[in-house]
Amino acid sequence: MPDSLTVNHTEQLAFPGIVWERASDYSYLSEALSRLELKHKSVRVTGIGESRTGRTVYAVTLGNLSSPGVLYAGGIADGDTQSPAALLRFVADYAEFLEKGKRMYGVSMSCLNTSRSLTVIPMLNPDGYIREKEGNPALPLRKTDLMKDFETVCREPESCAVTGYVRTMGNTELCIGLHPAERGISYDPAAHRAVPVGRLLSRMIGCEVEKTPWGMARWFSGETGKPAYTCSTFGGIGARPDDYITLYAAMREAFFSVPLLI
């Protein structure tokens, strides 16, 4: 049965349910985000910048924007088909569970929504997906990938979108970047409270800890002195798009619980 939405108390908008595996397709992701924003008052979608070829980098904000915040980012690596779908599924679950007054892993969704701010960037690197998976030769190759760019100069437009957003918001207390090409959790142990939170993440996700930050985590902790983590569960095995559920199942508890650790 299709979902439906009442508009102005009279008009009914109907649309089929979201196919999570298709979220790695940029056009479909844009459409799915629009659907979620229409359906749920708690979902707010905005553009925080553009890719090198002019595609909008979307951010979803949840909760109380004036409260301490966390940032979840995916779709950073070229061809990453799992993390955009996992993050889109999290946004949908958050909104639905909030409306139903549920508790997730002992967390009151109402309390979480009023006391914390969450920002989700499902696909930071739309050009990388299109070039890698669709074989579009018209898209230029980067001299360095986004993970390396975060570690060095942050000159790529997508990296600048994130750094500008974090600096503008000023309330981001923790960052998690998803990178399915690796396995484990990496972070800077010198960052404030990074070690105890890293231990909890390791327990929740079931991955080993590597205390050497890289990618977005290195930039964020270096910039703010606050904890940031690069998380993965696939270990470079090249998971299929429909394996997003493996990533989401591993990260789900962390997604709902981590905001209250800051």
Per residue in 37-68, pLDDT tens?
999 999 999 999 999 889 999 999 999 999 99
Regarding beta strands 172-178 and 183-187, do their DSSP bridges make them parallel or antiparallel, or are they unpaired? unpaired
Between CA 186 and CA 107 the distance in angstroms is 26
Q: The whole model's pTM is what?
A: 0.89
pLDDT score for 46: 97
| Residues 6+ positions from 221 with CB-CB distance below 8 Å | 187, 188, 190, 191, 194, 213, 227, 228
- The residue-averaged pLDDT of 111-119 equals 97
pLDDT in tens, 116-152: 999 999 999 988 766 555 555 555 555 568 888 998 8
Between CA 68 and CA 18 the distance in angstroms is 30
- Region for residue 25 given its phi and psi (left: phi exceeds 0; alpha: psi -120 to 50; beta: otherwise): beta
- Name which of 137-151, 166-180, 195-209, 234-248 the model is least confident about: 234-248
Residue 94 host element (H or E)? helix 83-99
pLDDT score for 80: 82
Q: Is the pLDDT of residue 8 over 50?
A: no
pLDDT score for 181: 64
Three-state SS for 184? strand
Residue 53 is encoded by which pair of tokens?
């070829």
Percent above pLDDT 70 for the chain: 83
Percent above pLDDT 90 for the chain: 58
pLDDT score for 141: 57
pLDDT score for 125: 92
Instruction: Using the Cα atoms of residue 249, residue 255, residue 261 and residue 262 in order, give the sign of their dihedral.
Output: positive
pLDDT in tens, 64-107: 999 999 999 999 987 788 899 999 999 999 999 999 999 999 98
| Residues 6+ positions from 159 with CB-CB distance below 8 Å | 146, 149, 150, 219
Mean pLDDT, the chain, as a whole number? 85
Distance of CA 232 to the CA centre of its chain: 12
Three-state SS for 110? helix
pLDDT score for 205: 87
- Could you give all domains of the chain from N- to C-terminal order, each with its CATH number? 20-261 (3.40.630.10)
